[in-house]
Amino acid sequence: MIASGPPFGRFETILLENEVLRVVACPALGGRILSLLDRRSGREWLVQGEPPASLQPWAREDALFGGREAFGWDECLPTVAPCPDPLDPAAPPLRDHGEQWGRAADMTADGNVLVTQWPSARWGYSFRRRLRLDGDRLVASYLLANASAVPMPFLWSMHPLLRLEPGARVWLRWVETATLGGHLGSPRAPDPHRDAWEVADISAGSALKVYARLRSPATAEARQPDRSTLRFRWDQAVAPVVGLWLDFGGWPSSEPVHQVAVEPTTSEDDDLASAVAAGRAPMLPPGETLRWSVRLTLG
């Protein structure tokens, strides 16, 4: 079922639900998913936040994604961290956490499927996400079309910020290679090749980013102390890497937060310029379309 959802401040939301799952999304905030709720247990899986008083600060080209903006689930495209534009070095830098967040998206219902579309005036691509519920599973199907006249490099990262309790664990299945994306507040960098990570309390004062290439099938799992689980499985051909963000009060320096993100992504790079320089950025030819999906299962 798709219906109007509860207001988020002054912003309208759309509700997608069945007997097991409830999803709440906000078109005005870039199609951000505000809630992923297991109706059987009442457990909310996404970090909750407060609506902005105005969209203008969020929608700016130079907007920064900070602690107050870090909640729910966004899509990052064509970069995560800001960087020089690889198609035009003289142009302004690519936007922090991508073009989509904090900007109004076109969100419509197609039967029982919730469709979000994001155009790009800057690069001329079209990006679409279709959300469908199937019992205890949420299926996110993506389409990226290059409508420009030049090949388009890109970096995509799913960006769900998870509300995991201290003592929860995150597993990355079949880690093949791993790199440390950065750490804060730890006396020394941990070994990134681990396949299991435990969630600490916010008093740990640490933050860590790990990138891992996984053997097929690409799978990750978050398990709460009460053994409730959220499993991710995705198309490895498009997203061969998963980013793991573990923030236990280490970021940001003012008003630190507690959150975990499991982020299927196209490469182990924080920004598109680095991915291009390393030869790890997918290249979408003019007029071509790419499709992939991520499946989230609650247990």
Domain chopping of the chain, boundaries? 2-298
CB 261 within 8 A of CB 71: no
Q: For 165-195, what is each residue's pLDDT tens digit? A: 999 999 998 899 999 998 888 777 888 889 9
pLDDT of residue 15: 97
The residues facing 175 across adjacent strands are: 214
Q: How far apart are CA 171 and CA 239, in angstroms?
A: 17
Return the minimum-mean-pLDDT range out of 145-149, 196-200, 213-217, 228-232: 213-217
Which of 133-147, 185-199, 255-269, 284-298 has the weakest average pLDDT? 185-199
Assign 119 a pLDDT band (cuts: 50, 70, 90). Answer: confident
Q: How far apart are CA 26 and CA 7, in angstroms?
A: 9
Whole-number pLDDT of residue 191: 87
pLDDT digits 0-9 by tens, 233-276: 999 999 999 999 999 999 999 999 999 999 999 999 999 999 99
* CA-based nearest residue to 76, from 140, 160, 148: 160
- Please state the pTM of the whole predicted model: 0.96
**CB environment 147-172: b (16+ within 10 A), e (fewer):** ebeeebbbbbbbbbbbbbeeebebbb
Asked if the model's pLDDT at residue 204 lies above 90, the reply is yes
Q: Which fold has domain 2-298?
A: Beta-galactosidase; Chain A, domain 5 (2.70.98)
Give the pLDDT of residue 227: 97
* pLDDT single digits (tens) 29-56: 999 999 999 999 999 999 999 999 999 9
